[in-house]
Amino acid sequence: MDLGIERKNLIEELGVHLEGDHLAPLAARILATLILSGKKGVTFEELVNELNAGKSTVSTHLDHLQNTNRVTYFTKPGERKRYFIIDPNLILNVMEEMLNKWEKERKLHIKIRNYKEESNLQAAKTGDFQFDLEFQEDYLTFLNETSTAVQKLKTRLLARYNEN
């Protein structure tokens, strides 16, 4: 297997996926490149060359990625180059956003379930339509289990980061 070709294809595939996070195509490719480069970092010139993009365009997207806390950089002693990497807190921030969204959604679905239960009580007296609550319960279970799993992963990642 040619890792260079595999890398190029994976940057494209991951880039397309990351565009779903409201990123411009080149910003998504920059992020994908950094994900596949790991902690060694990638210089500005390497990004320009690897992505075959203009310097000003790469610069604009790097600024945006830094301003949105997705990307950071480091320098090496004696060098003027900046090495760009994924912000180490990015995955933790994404997880926190997910957990907050799911908690809001869970609270809303509890209200919906309560409304449907109350409606069913009244409908039972009159013989009217009653809601099937099975989906509501299954969805609440899904939200609880998913949130618990993500929280466990987040806790493990935090412990790992604190060790380093």
pTM of the predicted protein model: 0.76
Q: Counting every residue, how long is the chain?
A: 164
| Rg, the chain, Cα only | 23
Q: How many Cβ atoms from other residues are within 10 Å of residue 33's Cβ?
A: 21
Residue by residue, pLDDT tens for the chain (164 residues) are 788 899 999 999 999 999 998 999 999 999 999 999 988 999 999 999 999 999 999 999 999 999 999 999 999 999 999 999 999 889 998 899 999 999 999 999 999 999 999 999 999 888 888 999 999 999 999 999 999 999 999 999 989 888 76
Distances in whole angstroms, Cα of residue 53 to Cα of each of 8, 25, 46, 56, 126: 14, 11, 10, 9, 68
Cα distance between the two ends of the chain: 34
